[in-house]
Amino acid sequence: MRVAESLRGDIVRRELSTAPFLVAARGGTPSRLPVWFMRQAGRSLPEYRRVRGSVPMLTACFDPGMITEITLQPVRRHGVDAAILFSDIVVPLKAAGIGVDIKPGIGPVVDHPVRDRAGVRSLPLLEPDQVDAVHQAVRLLVAELGSTPLIGFAGAPFTLASYLIEGGPSRNHEHPKALLNSAPQTWTPLLEKPPHQPHISLKPNLPPGG
């Protein structure tokens, strides 16, 4: 059994290495043009609407089963050349214990915006085990996807800091710009807080095939 599993793993890894999406990402010439698209898993799919139902977005983002199923849906329906992990860029903030929710028609809304040094100091840290649900989902997906690549993503530190400072979406980022210009001694530590560091939230995407 172990020999068979090892051989299957070797075959999948070889197929994955020549997947059109990964070949193109490495700057090579793929056997065909790889196709995937932003928001390929979402409201356009009836199966997505059935699975999500009335489940809040961030609740779904911490459910390994829902993450796995929703990520797989467009691969099954459309045969896209890469799966995109079902998640949201504010997942690390929520995981760390920061009061944030995704309001329909608005986007991420933070309970208590951070606009001074005391607020920055009070922000909780993010530990890797706080995104364990994502880690579990990635492992499930790698097993299910086989030779189909999985795309993970994370919010840039500036983007996450902007949500924390503004308290929600903003076109002009007035408060982040003001803090950056008037109090760099507060701005810099904010960017260095673990919830804003992409490598922490991306680590769960790094098992073989992730």
> Domain boundaries in the chain?
1-34, 35-205
* Lowest mean pLDDT across 42-46, 84-88, 141-145, 196-200: 196-200
Q: How confident is the model at residue 15 (pLDDT cuts 50, 70, 90)?
A: confident
137's CB contacts (< 8 A; 6+ apart) are 64, 67, 68, 71, 85, 86
Q: Give the residue, 210 or 46, on which the prediction is more confident.
A: 46
> For residues 3 and 50, what is the distance between their CA atoms, to the nearest angstrom?
39
Beta strand spans in 146-209 (E): 150-151
Whether 43 sits among the annotated catalytic residues: the reply is yes
pLDDT for 5 equals 42
Q: State which H helix or E strand residue 84 sits in.
A: strand 83-84
Whether 52 sits among the annotated catalytic residues: the reply is yes
pLDDT value at 2 more than 80: no
Average pLDDT for the chain: 87
Whether 10 sits among the annotated catalytic residues: the reply is no
Say which of 43, 111, 129, 171 is annotated catalytic: 43
| C-alpha 127, offset from chain centre | 16
Whether 14 sits among the annotated catalytic residues: the reply is no
Say which of 2, 26, 39, 50 is annotated catalytic: 39
Write down the pTM of the prediction: 0.85
How would CATH label the architecture of 35-205? Alpha-Beta Barrel (3.20)
> For residues 132 and 82, what is the distance between their CA atoms, to the nearest angstrom?
23
Whether 101 sits among the annotated catalytic residues: the reply is no
